[in-house]
Structure 1
Amino acid sequence: MQAFWSAGYEGASVPLLAGAMGISVQSLYAAFGSKEALFREALDYYSRTVGGFGARALEAESDAIRAVIRFLDEAAVNFARTTGTPGCMIATAAAEVAEPSLSAYARQLRTDSVARISARLKRGVQEGQMSAGFDCDHWAWYIASVMLGMSVQARDGATADVLHAVARIAAASIEANRRG
């Protein structure tokens, strides 16, 4: 996962990947069949572990707006990490994949994130936290766009303080839509 994350799909050679896992190239092919299959497994592993913070944040709060704010705050913390590769693996390592099936898979993972945000906001509308006219789908795309932008900025060296400031600005914009 870390080799793909730091080098990207195209930049991570099979020998580099085998070395990162401490196995031979032959063992890599025997275990995974292809570099593409290994990349899919790495993305899935990332989604369940390091990158799973978003799904967990959206469900951890009883209030939808607080859940989105937590999602953005945790993105700032996770993306500005001081060890490993900054940013989001799905946003950065998977963004420039030339292989069409992998590009589509990464795009689907990002779209799934938007759908999770939208579903959480829709639940908030149903629970009376936002007005009935609140456009959950468009807000979900906005929040995902902010998160993806934070990932790129982290990769470019933005500090945790900068990313938290971005998260606070986005949080204020959604907080302004609270029913009340």
Structure 2
Amino acid sequence: MEITPKAPIGRPRSFDAEEALERAMMVFWERGYQGASLTDLTDAMGITRKSMYAAFGNKDDLFRKALERYTEGPASYAARALEEPSAREVATAFLAGSVSTTTRPDCPAGCLGVQGSLAAGDSGRFAQDTLNAWRDDALTRLRQRFQRAVDENDLPPGADPELLARYLMTVANGIAVQAAGGATRSELQPVADAALRNWPPV
């Protein structure tokens, strides 16, 4: 009689890593780095801590991967905005994307990149440093795009690419904080429109 081998006892259940990461991103987005406990994360992901460590590493590693997913997903408006043909259109798309992303009804309010490390103490230093670098990278990309606009005469010669980039980032971050506090898209889009009225003419 042929004996069929049994499956190994205690074999870990398979799971969809992409879906699990998406759920982890949502937890970090809603609760921030420090507010998201390992239990919160594994419960949302539907896996054990052992499986989480095996698939994603520790909490810092998971946060970094979640931020990458956020950048490529909900926050991808920033990269798309840089491809707009004019500096004004870059600024318009960047702020419109900020308003849209931070007020999505199917996602946590605000921005993971802004709220992710707010009120974090020493235990949240990794998240603070990671998000500072994330925001600095966005600032650098905007500055380089506006420098190109100056070089191409799409912005006036006296325009300051650094100032314009920081201006946009400041407005976008403020929009995110307002959204986290309950402000709606209809309330925040006029703020973005008002900010663009100060944009330098060509």
TM-score bucket (shorter structure): over 0.9
1:94 partnered with 2:109 = no
Determine if contact 1:64/1:123 at 8 Å carries over to the other structure. no
Shift of 1:32: 2.2
Q: TM-score, normalized by length of structure 2? A: 0.83
For 2:136, give the aligned amino acid: T
Structure exhibiting the larger radius of gyration computed from Cα positions:
2
For 2:152, give the aligned amino acid: E
Q: Which one has the bigger helix percentage? A: 1
Aligned partner of 2:94 in structure 1 is 71
Structure 1 segments of 4+ aligned residues over 2 angstroms from their partners: 94-102
Aligned partner of 2:171 in structure 1 is 146
1:111 partnered with 2:132 = no
1:2-37, CA deviations, whole angstroms, 9 ceiling, x for partnerless residues?
Answer: 011111111111111011111011111222221111
Q: Which of residues 25, 30, 33 is equivalent to 2:49?
A: 25
> Separation in 2 of the partners of 1:45 and 1:95?
20
Shift of 1:66: 1.2
When the two structures are aligned, how many residues end up with a matched partner? 176
Shift of 1:69: 1.0
Secondary structure, aligned partner of 2:197: helix
For 1:92, give the aligned amino acid: Q
Determine if contact 2:149/2:155 at 8 Å carries over to the other structure. yes
* % identical equivalent positions: 35
Aligned partner of 1:170 in structure 2 is 195
1:5 partnered with 2:33 = no
For 2:97, give the aligned amino acid: E
In structure 1, list runs of 5 or more residues that go unmatched.
none
Secondary structure, aligned partner of 1:130: coil
> Separation in 1 of the partners of 2:105 and 2:65?
24
In structure 2, list runs of 5 or more residues that go unmatched.
1-24
> Separation in 2 of the partners of 1:94 and 1:84?
18
Determine if contact 1:5/1:85 at 8 Å carries over to the other structure. yes
Shift of 1:150: 0.2
Higher relative contact order (CA 8 A, sep 6+): 1
> Separation in 1 of the partners of 2:127 and 2:29?
14
